[in-house]
Structure 1
Amino acid sequence: MSSSQLQWAITRNTSSFMMKKRNISQPFSREPLHLTNRHCFKYNTMIHKNVIAVQPAKDKNGFVVLTKSKRKGFKPKQSFVRSQIKGGARHTLAKLRNIMKAGYRKDCRTAALKKASAIIRSEKVRTPKKGKPVKKAE
């Protein structure tokens, strides 16, 4: 297996997931497990061995954490371990933080926590604020 720097040098300009736009200096990425959707070496999920991804759950209750196992690196579909985390916002973010401390990359910790908190925020049901009653003119 080649190094991740060599893989990045080869696929940096020719990736099928890269999305360039006019008047934007940093291209975007359409990788399915990407944390920030920026096309850069740090967050690329295809070349790194340790990958963690956060996705919204299908039942809209919590989020799903995908971790890449090192044992089945050559079988892409079987290499990911899915675990759904449910509960309150503080509880789920603490669980995610503990998963990240168990051996996954420290440089992606803040991006994973930001994405998880955005998913939690989007699932909240917001009730409209009640306005002041309008006085009738007599």
Structure 2
Amino acid sequence: MSSSHLQWLITRNTSSFVLKKRNVKQPFSREPLHLTNRHCFKYSTLVHKNVIGVEPAKDKNGFVVVMKSKKKVYKPKASMVRFQIKSGPRHTLAKLSNIVKNGYRKDCRGAVLKKASAIIRSEKTRVAKKAKPAKKAE
């Protein structure tokens, strides 16, 4: 298998996931499991073997962690392992940080936790503010 740097040099400009726009220096990426949607080597999920992603759960309760298995590298569909974490915001982030600490790249830990906390924040229901009664003019 070739190195991830060589794969990046080959797929950098020819990937179908690249989204280039005018007047934008950094192009975007639509890769699955992508953490920041920036098209760069650091966050690319196509070239790295050790990949983790966070997706919102279908039942809007917690999030789904998707990891690429190292055993089934040549079977892309079978190599994805998915499990849902849904036990309260603080507890889920603590679980995710333990998963990330044990066997994931150090440079992407913060991005994983940031995306998970954004998903949790988006699921929180907001209470509408009550309108204050207008003051009567004397």
Shorter-normalised TM range: over 0.9
**Structure 1 residue runs without a partner (length 5+):** none
Letter in 2 for 1:110: G
Letter in 2 for 1:92: T
Q: Deviations over 1:69-116 (max 9, x none)?
A: 100011101101101000221111100000001101111111111100
Hey, what does 1:92 align to over in structure 2?
92
CA drift of 1:125 comes to 0.4
**Structure 2 residue runs without a partner (length 5+):** none
Q: Within 1, Cα distance between the matches of 2:2 and 2:22?
A: 33
Matched pairs, number = 138
RMSD over aligned Cα atoms: 1.0
Hey, what does 1:48 align to over in structure 2?
48
Q: Within 2, Cα distance between the matches of 1:25 and 1:40?
A: 12
Hey, what does 1:101 align to over in structure 2?
101
After superposition, residues 1-138 of structure 1 pair within 5 angstroms as 1-137=1-137
CA drift of 1:136 comes to 3.4
SS of aligned partner of 1:104:
coil
Letter in 2 for 1:132: K
TM-score where L is the length of structure 2:
0.96
Q: Within 1, Cα distance between the matches of 2:108 and 2:80?
A: 17
SS of aligned partner of 2:65:
strand
Q: Within 1, Cα distance between the matches of 2:78 and 2:29?
A: 23
